[in-house]
Amino acid sequence: MNGWGKTAGAPARALQRLPFGAPASEVGEVMARHGGLVLTGVLTPDQVHQVNADLDPLVSALPPGNFGSEVSSVTSRSEADEAAYSGSRTRHLQHCYKRSRTYREGFLGSEVLGGYVSTVMPGAMGAPSLYASVVIEIAPGESAQGLHRDGEAFFAPLGLNHAGGPCYLVNCLLALVDVTEEMGATRVIPGSHLWEDFSDFSSQDQTIPATLKAGDMLFYNGKMLHGGGANTTRDRHRRVLATAFSFPFIMGEEAWPFTVSPEEVRGYPRRVQSMLGFRSKSHHGEEPGFFWRVDTCPLERSLGLD
Ligand SMILES: O=C(O)CCC(=O)C(=O)O
Ligand SMILES: [Fe+2]
């Protein structure tokens, strides 16, 4: 039986679209119902152009697949899983928060985005952490990624391998080119964040493509089933910039504090300093917080960031 047989009604056959800037309550309602939506016009064409200009040389210098390492060098089960998950013709450029000032200030630092994230992840100790900031560029000939739920490694130990409990991870797939189905638009199953049984990974024929214009983003709850699509074009690369946020107690995919110095971080927006782990946190969101201190001194003060 397909997953949606376990929920009330069939899933939506198209993703809902709202303009970036729509009230957070409206975005939150759509997210609660469908698990994801498209926000249009998140970046202007000029901003998209600038972010691409910042990233182009870095992305084109990368080898495809498995974060740059050869599948033959895989040494552990987890690396083997990762190789399958990452694809053989997909380039990943991590740590994008520091690669592009336009992305950092215009996107990560955006109050509107921050409002959406805290609406769908209420109580994330006031300020969610950055979990991933990575370009995912799918080259022609890549096959579809397996359907999965982001952060599923954390479900079982936290007792969250089901629809109940909080949304602890959200993802924003920001299109840096127009993304069509043929280029590998992300495949999604709206409503699957509400299924009772998360061991059900359904099948590709139950998915719909999240097509995007450059500057739009797919915003989704990590519990919604999804996966990168196959790129069946001959020559068009599908580039999105994935930005995921999580509860701070979840270990992110990228080791932020070791990829940037406090000196560099000093010039970043406070919101970005916080999501990278350079500021103390409290469960209410105000600073200084009780958590993330050095000899009882809030981290930001001990680093001289204020
Ligand atoms: O590339 C995509 O469209 C989705 C990628 C994804 O879901 C992931 O890497 O977790
Ligand atoms: Fe994913």
Angle, to 10 degrees, between the axis of helix 24-34 and the axis of helix 111-120? 40
Predicted confidence at residue 152, as pLDDT, reads: 86
- For residues 201 and 229, membership in a common domain is answered with yes
pLDDT at 163: 83
Residues 262 and 250 placed together within one structural domain of the fold: no
Domain shared by 264 and 156, yes or no: no
Please check whether residues 70 and 156 belong to one and the same domain. yes
Does the pTM of the predicted model rise above 0.85?
yes
Query: Do 200 and 267 fall within a single domain?
Result: no
**Arithmetic mean of pLDDT, 131-159:** 91
pLDDT at 144: 96
Q: How far apart are CA 60 and CA 185, in angstroms?
A: 20
What distance in angstroms lies between residue 227's CA and the mean position of ligand 2's atoms?
Answer: 6
pLDDT, averaged across the chain: 90
Q: Is residue 287 scored above 50 in pLDDT?
A: yes
Do 148 and 296 sit in the same domain of this protein?
no
Instruction: State how many domains the chain has.
Output: 2
| Residues 211, 265 within the same domain | no
Q: Which domain holds residue 278?
A: 257-306
Query: What is the CATH number for 8?
Result: 2.60.120.620
Last residue of a domain, one of 231, 254, 277: 254
Q: Are residues 161 and 185 in the same domain?
A: yes
Instruction: Using most ligand atoms within 8 A of CB, pick from 92, 133, 136 the residue to mutate for ligand 1.
Output: 136
The whole-number pLDDT of residue 73 equals 54
**What are the pLDDT digits (tens) for 173-212?**
999 999 999 999 999 999 999 998 898 999 999 999 999 9
Of 216, 233, 254, which one is at a domain's C-terminal end? 254
pLDDT tens readout for residues 210-253 = 999 999 999 999 999 999 999 999 999 999 999 999 988 889 99
Please tell me whether residues 304 and 179 are part of one structural domain. Answer: no
CB atoms within 10 A of CB 242: 23
Atom of ligand 1 nearest to the CA of 226: 7
Same domain, 183 and 267: no
Residues 269 and 175 in one domain: no
Q: Is the CB–ligand 1 distance for residue 186 below 6 Å?
A: yes
Q: Are residues 84 and 187 in the same domain?
A: yes
pLDDT tens digits, 39-83 = 999 999 999 999 999 999 999 999 877 554 444 455 665 666 776
